[in-house]
A and B are shown apart, each in its own frame.
Chain A
Amino acid sequence: MSERYSRQISIIGEEGQKKLRNSKVVVTGIGGLGSVASYYLAAAGVGYLRIIDYDVVEISNLNRQILHWTNDIGRPKVESAAMKLSLLNPETRIDPINEKISEDNVDELLKGMDVIIDGQDNLRTRMIINEFAVRSCRPYVYGAVYGMEGFLMTIIPGAGPCLRCLYPYEPKIKDFIPVLGTTPGVIGCLEATEAIKIITGVGKPSVGRLIIYDGENMSFHEVCIARNSQCYVCKKI
């Protein structure tokens, strides 16, 4: 096995490393969360990494979206990200898709993936992805940020609550969301950790446990989230 992974093989084993190499992960949005998550997934040796986004890089992204640099402004995010990820790890096949995820294309864009990583900036698309994850029984790692706070929960359909159990209704959320750049750094990193654990079978994913990172007070909270027996998305599985 490549020396590139020597520091982690003692943790996940040769077998775990092979599982990563044979795995397919999709990162749904390559902004603050997705930049960090995809960086660590490529670095860890995930064999196939699909990255999906439809935005172009703007200057206001650069405080947190670390795969995009000043000379990328105006470039499609997936193009900017794919270039850096390919340079980081040529052993990872990067598949950039410049599209917006919708109810019409979600099956086509996410099918066949072993793990789905949340890199979205709105709840509506997250719910579309959650429904796909539940009906196709795929693990989905939810991450979200606000200011200096971050939230993370891993959804393994049938084994714990889904995102709709957590948020039964979507309120109108303001468009401008303040974010300290390090916050999606923390949560994106945790999302990648969850994906690596799911793929290798090492450790215990945060299923039914909402992790709340409070950067202002530098603390982590863990909240038990039960399945909602009335949840119209996952009650039948």
Chain B
Amino acid sequence: MKVKIELFATLREMVGNSLLEIENVENVREAVEALIEMFGARIKEILMEGDEKKESVKILVNGKDIRDLAGLETKLRNGDCISIFPPVAGG
């Protein structure tokens, strides 16, 4: 099973890529953990507060906020697209 992860703003800059593809993850938590494994502590610092997602970070699955789904436990299906972005404030 493959899912896409689309990153924006500082996350994109940090990872050096706007779109990633990862395999064998069943839910959003596993996808986030895979990202952290790939890119290390700095990305964890932006995304997570202990075991939970930081409130300031938006994570969407196929355009829907995981806050309105099952949070980090939201199940993923083959081809799903996860979008992640921190608050954007430049003007």
Q: Say yes or no: is B54 at the interface (Cβ < 8 Å to chain A).
A: yes
Chain-A contact segment, one of B20-28, B33-41, B71-79, B80-88: B80-88
Q: Are A123 and B87 in contact (CB under 8 A)?
A: yes
Check if B30 is an interface residue, CB within 8 A of chain A: no
Say if the beta carbon of B1 comes within 8 Å of chain A: no
Mark interface residues in A1-41 (1 if CB within 8 Å of B CB, else 0): 00000000000000000000000000001011110000000
Chain B contact surface mostly: mixed
A43-51, A88-96, A130-138, A218-226 - the one binding chain B: A218-226
Interface size of B by CB at 8 A reads 25
A146, CB-defined interface residue at 8 Å = yes
Instruction: Count A-side interface residues using an 8 Å CB cutoff.
Output: 42
B50 contacts the other chain (Cβ, under 8 Å)? no
Q: Are the C-beta atoms of A146 and B9 separated by less than 8 Å?
A: yes
Which residues of chain A have C-beta atoms less than 8 A from B8's C-beta? 146, 149, 212, 214
A68 part of interface (Cβ distance < 8 Å): no
The listed residue with most B CB atoms (<10 A of its CB), out of A123, A151, A178, is A151
Assess the A144–B54 pair: CB atoms within 8 A: no
Measured CA separation A226–B63 after assembly (Å): 12
Within 8 A of B (CB), among A180-200: 184
The answer to whether A167 touches B87 (Cβ under 8 A) is yes
Query: A160-193: which residues lie under 8 A (CB-CB) from chain B?
Result: 166-171, 173-174, 177-179, 184
Question: Which chain A residues numbered 106 to 132 have a C-beta less than 8 Å away from chain B?
Answer: 118-123, 126
Of B63, B85, B86, B89, the contact of A224 (CB 8 Å cutoff): B63
A149-B88, A166-B58 known; 9 new pairs, CB 8 Å cut-off, are A143-B91, A146-B9, A146-B10, A147-B9, A171-B56, A177-B89, A212-B8, A221-B83, A223-B65
Residues of A within 8 A of B (CB): 29, 31-34, 118-123, 126, 143-147, 149, 151, 166-171, 173-174, 177-179, 184, 212, 214, 216-217, 221-226, 228
Q: Top 3 nearest A-B pairs by Cβ distance?
A: A177-B90, A121-B91, A146-B9
